[in-house]
Structure 1
Amino acid sequence: MRAQDVMTSPVVTARPDQPVKEVAALLAEHGFTSAPVVDDDGRVVGMVTEADVLRDRIPVDARTRIWGDEVPEVHPAQTVAEVMSTPAVAITPGTDAAAIVRMMLDDHVRAVPVVDGRGVVGIVTRRDLLRAIATDDATVLTAVRSRLSAYGGGDRWSVTVYDGVVEIVDDFDDATDRHVAQVIAESVPGVAEVRVRSRESVL
């Protein structure tokens, strides 16, 4: 499974000179946790997140001051360039989803923009990956059978799916085809593991 299989597209982007308040409205409207920041040429130059937008944007309630607490004076940033995270880390449509998960966990990021020669073509979020994991077994089974049918015919493979684990039995007992079937099945969103066996090993 690769970035192009799970990414959200098209993606909402922000500009460095865009007002923070405007970007806050965009994130709230679309339910996003972050957005790539692009320059005039469409290149990713940073990421702006919910946390970036929230920083210093909500003043202390005046009623709090009654108790004499010292309230620090803050001046909220006005543009995205002042709050965005840099440098920007981007991936390509062909990036392995497993590598994306490792990046998110190791670097504590929630979203990664997907770029190609045309600029930003999508974004992969933790929610996108969770959605893939949560794909029900019936949907996974249909997708695996469809892709295998296109490769070796509809009656070539026996396929079952349980809790994201795909079991494939090769009726023709061909090692090369079993390897191809493994690769095909692993590319289907929602697949957690693939086990391919020959018909003889089952009997």
Structure 2
Amino acid sequence: MRAQDVMTSPVATASPGQPVKEIAALLADHGFTAAPVVDDGHLVGMVTEADVLRDRIPVDARSRIWDYNATDVHPALTVAEVMSTPAVAITPGTDCAAIARMMLDDHVRAVPVVDGGHGVVGIVTRRDLLRAIATDDTTVLTAVRSRLAAYGGAGRWSVTVHDGLVEIVDDFDDATDRHVAKVIAESVPGVAEVRVRSRASAR
């Protein structure tokens, strides 16, 4: 499973000169955790919920009415002032296992997807990966059968799915075909594990 299989596209982007208030509304209204910052077609940074929140909400005046030494906070006005740089990007072909490791190791919630001269073509969030994991078994079964049929014809394999575990029985004793079937099935969103065996060994 690769980034192109799970990414959200098209993706809402921000520009460096855009007011922080506008980006706050974008993130809040659409439930986004972050947005890529694009300048002249190039990815230049990321603006996250944390970036927008930082120093943005003033202390309630009633709690500082007698505090004459309170420091005034002057919040940033533009995205360029709050965005995180440099932006780490992935390509459409990046393996989702690597994306998950990156998100967990680097504590990031969203990663932009960049495709050469096309610029930012999507974004992968933790929610996108969770949605793939949560794909129901019936949907997974249909997708696996369809892809295997495209490779070897309908009825070439017997397929079952339970809790994301795909079991494929090869009606012919062909090790190469079994390897290919495993690779094909593993590319389907929602697949947790694939086991392939020949019909002879299944008896």
TM-score bucket of the superposed structures, by smaller chain: over 0.9
Spell out the pairing of 1:2-81 with structure 2 (5 A cutoff): 2-40=2-40, 42-66=41-65, 68=67, 71-81=70-80
Q: Residues 199 and 103 (structure 1 numbering): CA distance in 2 closer, same or farther, change over 3 Å? A: same
> Deviation at 1:66?
3.9
Counting only pairs closer than 5 Å after superposition, residues 62-101 of structure 1 correspond to structure 2 as: 62-66=61-65, 68=67, 71-101=70-100
Task: Provide the C-alpha distance between the structure 2 equivalents of 1:128 and 1:70, rounded to a whole number of angstroms.
Answer: 46
C-alpha deviation, 1:28, in angstroms: 1.2
Residue 29 of structure 1 and its aligned partner are, at CA, apart by 1.6
Which amino acid is the alignment partner of residue 188 of structure 2? Answer: V
Q: Which moved more, 1:58-67 or 1:119-128?
A: 58-67
Task: Give distance in 1, aligned partners of 2:135 and 2:182.
Answer: 19
Alignment CA distance shift 1:192-1:69 (3 Å): farther
Q: Which residue of structure 1 lines up, in the alignment, with residue 108 of structure 2?
A: 109
Equivalents in 2 of 1:69, 1:157: separation in Å? 77
Q: In structure 2, what is the equivalent of residue 177 of structure 1?
A: 177
**Cα distance in structure 2, aligned partners of 1:148 and 1:122:** 27
What is the CA–CA distance in structure 1 between the aligned matches of 2:104 and 2:57, rounded to whole Å?
A: 29
State the TM-score, normalized to the length of structure 1: 0.97
On the 8 A contact 1:46/1:84 being kept in 2, the answer is yes
The alpha-carbon deviation at position 166 of structure 1 amounts to 0.4
Mapped to 1, the partners of 2:68 and 2:168 lie a distance apart of: 67
Q: Kindly provide the amino acid, as one letter, of the partner of residue 108 in structure 1.
A: H
SS at match of 1:37: strand
Task: Report the TM-score when normalising by structure 2.
Answer: 0.97
What is the CA distance between 1:154 and its match in structure 2? 1.2
The alignment partner of 2:64 has SS state of helix
Give, in angstroms, the shift of residue 70 of structure 1: 5.5
Query: Which amino acid in 1 is paired with 2:34?
Result: S
Structure 1 residue 173 displacement after superposition: 1.3
Which residue of 2 is the match for residue 125 of structure 1? 125
C-alpha contact (below 8 Å) 1:60/1:71 kept by paired residues: no
Q: Which moved more, 1:65-74 or 1:106-115?
A: 65-74
Q: C-alpha displacement at 1:72, in angstroms?
A: 3.0
Distance 1:2 1:142 in 2: 19
Secondary structure of 2:150's counterpart equals helix
Q: Distance in 2 between matches of 1:175 and 1:192?
A: 22
Name the aligned partner's letter for residue 193 of structure 1: E
Query: Which residue type is aligned with residue 151 of structure 2?
Result: Y
Query: Counterpart in 2 of 1:190?
Result: 190
Cα deviation per residue 1:59-108 (whole Å; 9 max; x = unaligned)?
11111124649633211001111110111100000000001001101111
Contact 1:15 1:37 in 2 (8 A): yes
Question: Please, which runs of 5 or more residues in structure 1 have no aligned partner?
Answer: none
